[in-house]
Amino acid sequence: MGCPASGLSRRSASSASRSARSRGVSGRETPCRMIASRSRRSTPLVCPSVGEVHGEIRDEELEAERDAERDARRRLALAQIRQYPDAALRMKAKPVEAFDDDLRRLAERMTALMVDALGVGLAATQVGILQRLFVFVPGTDGEPAVIANPVITVSGDEVETDDEGCLSLQGVLAPVARAVSLRLDGKDVNGNDVSYELEGYPARTAQHELDHLDGVLIIDRTTPEARREAMAVLRPRVVIG
């Protein structure tokens, strides 16, 4: 969702968000409203464009340098995210019990990995930690959020099928049916109650990440044909010579 394994990948999120906007689903101004939470300034995910020459570096050279740096950070982040068929991706996470410095450090690390990997979600199981914790982007401002022991308490009746990618299944896009809107309750890293009302792609991301915490992947929820295509991409290849 990685898109972000969930880690949903940002690329799949962008394409799906565009298609959803054409249907009037996730193109609204406020797809997420957080209840009883403290807002923070968002972390910029994309460098702003430069409109002039800086020293001896022209615009296009500076942009190319930034793109190369972003790609390098993404490769480094993906190297730290468990990839299919890693066994951790099939394990069910346990509830978070200790809201301590270790949990906060884990949340910070996961947030940094998600941002560097250009994802919109990442679950603890994707970094080999079997705790019910994930980070995601719940709103249009790009600000990451962390939720522990997440539970969907209300789910809308409308269901939509759209393509999803995953930071743990590189190269795979698969159609998955998800509820269009939901309410997500849980705890922040300090153990305080938090609640999100999500609609459109943020709701899809939350469902994707919750699946990760239960050992469920998009290849388990897609069509048989899409699963066969995905497995062909994921199957180890024999290299000769």
Q: Which residues are catalytic?
A: 209
Burial 195-215 (b: 16+ CB within 10 A, else e): bbbbbbbbbbbbbbbbbbbeb
Residue with tokens 């800086």: 54
Beta-carbon contacts of 226 under 8 Å, excluding residues fewer than 6 positions away, are 174, 175, 219
Structure tokens at 179: 């509820």
Kindly tell me the burial class for residue 31, based on how many C-beta atoms sit within 10 Å of its own C-beta (0-12, 13-18, 19 or more).
buried
Q: How many CB atoms lie within 10 A of CB 238?
A: 5
Measure the CA–CA gap between 17 and 11, rounded to whole angstroms: 10
